[in-house]
Amino acid sequence: MNSKRWVAIFIAVGLFLVSSAFTMFTTVFSTTWDDLFQVSDHDFEEKIIERGNGNGKIAVVSLNGVIESGYDVPSIFSSVGYNHKEFLQQLDYAAKDGQVRGIIIHVNTPGGGVVESSEIHDKIVSIQEEYNKPVYISMGSMAASGGYYIAAPASGIYANPQTLTGSIGVIMQSINVSQLAEDLGIQAEVIKSGPYKDIMSATREMTEDEREIMQIMIDESYENFVDVIEAGRDLPRSEIYELADGRIFSGRQAYEAGLIDGLGHLHDVYDIVREELGQGNLEIVEYTTSIGLSSLFSYSIQEILSNQSELLGLRGWLQQNQGPKMMYLYTD
């Protein structure tokens, strides 16, 4: 690497450090000391969006990014996107807050893991049955596959006419590099306890038996998806099958198909929920990530390293090496 490249790298790192320091100090000086050093049993705070009549509030919880649990161990390399544990904590907090009359989940996701989507779905059902608090879904730019799966049991689902939703189905993907490996003279050596232990291996073709095994699993999860829609939307199963072929819908198409209850932006949903709850001008609050020294440090490190990790392909490599798994996920 020549000297000009090294100079460019040092300049880039310097700019990232200056930008991160500026972000940190700006946040520190715009935050009270109590908030900065606060100790809480959760990593988020409540922000008032619209003041109300004092009779209670509606909690807004945001779901942004791919629905995956990720790693349990905190890391400076962890993504700044969706946090599964925190999202479930926010739902629990809203459910247990006696002032919260209803919950709105603002969804922007292409879907995600089958297990994680199921956990959110079950949490929504639990909140509505055990706490008698209605949960509403406001779809953003995308609420596809797992994003629709979690929406199905809600008391009301609303979307922008241009929202991408649907993609009802299950997918499991792997890659096959066996031909490339052969061309490069690379041979995989595998020692396994049974014939199916390396099923969906990237270094060989799948057998018909293996494909049948995986298809049975996919079909089982698919039927579960249909069950969820049938229970949540009260649509005939035959009609759901016609819609559940993996295609995506615009918000308007989803409304015409009976997959959602209405069209509107997030602020429109505020008014809809207030009216349906019938308790007047309830306060609207949003749960946001807390600002503390640990959060600031984590954010700064992530900001510095995010572009480098993308360039090096570390994030993609880590995701690929988690192994194939079933997903309620829209992929373009």
DSSP states of 4-28 as a string? HHHHHHHHHHHHHHHHHHHHHHHHH
Structural domain contains residue 15: no
Cβ burial of 252 (10 Å; 0-12, 13-18, 19+) is middle
- Concerning whether 197 is annotated as a catalytic residue, the answer is yes
Residue type, 207: T
Which one, of 53, 41, 36, 42, lies nearest residue 101 by Cα?
Answer: 53
Structural domain contains residue 12: no
Structural domain contains residue 177: yes
More confident residue, 305 or 104: 104
Which one, of 154, 149, 143, lies nearest residue 103 by Cα?
Answer: 154
pLDDT at 319 > cutoff 60: no
Structural domain contains residue 75: yes
Q: What CA–CA distance (Å, rounded) separates 13 from 287? A: 33
More confident residue, 26 or 189: 189
Structural domain contains residue 195: yes
- Concerning whether 85 is annotated as a catalytic residue, the answer is no
In terms of residue numbers, what domain contains 71?
31-329
- Position 152 scores a pLDDT of 98
- Position 181 scores a pLDDT of 87
- Position 81 scores a pLDDT of 79
- Position 18 scores a pLDDT of 58
CB-based contact 158:268 (threshold 8 Å): yes
More confident residue, 95 or 314: 95
Q: State the chain's mean pLDDT as an integer.
A: 84
> Can you tell me the mean pLDDT for 94-102?
98
Structural domain contains residue 135: yes
DSSP at 44 = E
Binned at pLDDT 50, 70 and 90, residue 318 comes out as very low
Q: Encode pLDDT of 282-304 as tens digits.
A: 999 999 876 555 455 545 555 54
Q: Encode pLDDT of 203-244 as tens digits.
A: 999 999 999 999 999 999 999 999 999 999 989 999 999 999
- Position 317 scores a pLDDT of 44
Q: Encode pLDDT of 135-163 as tens digits.
A: 999 999 999 999 999 999 999 999 999 99
Binned at pLDDT 50, 70 and 90, residue 331 comes out as confident
CB-based contact 41:92 (threshold 8 Å): no
Which residues touch 178 (CB under 8 Å, ≥6 apart)? 202, 203, 204, 205
Which one, of 184, 185, 188, lies nearest residue 205 by Cα?
Answer: 188
pLDDT more than 70, % of the chain: 74
Structural domain contains residue 146: yes
Which residues touch 18 (CB under 8 Å, ≥6 apart)? none
- Position 332 scores a pLDDT of 72
User: What sign for the dihedral angle of Cα 277, 278, 281, 283?
Assistant: negative
Query: How many alpha carbons fall within 13 Å on the CB side of residue 149?
Result: 34
CATH of the domain at 242: 3.90.226.10
Pairing status of strand 44-50 against strand 100-109: unpaired
Q: Spot the catalytic one: 47, 85, 192, 197.
A: 197
Domains: count for the chain: 1
Structural domain contains residue 207: yes
Q: Spot the catalytic one: 145, 201, 221, 300.
A: 145
**Tokens 């790192």, residue located:** 13
pLDDT at 312 > cutoff 80: no
pLDDT at 200 > cutoff 60: yes
> Can you tell me the mean pLDDT for 88-104?
97
- Position 178 scores a pLDDT of 87
Give strand pairing partners of 123.
Answer: none
- Position 44 scores a pLDDT of 86
pLDDT more than 90, % of the chain: 66
Q: Whole-model pTM?
A: 0.80
Q: What CA–CA distance (Å, rounded) separates 100 from 58? A: 6
∠ CA 127-132-134, nearest 5°, is 70
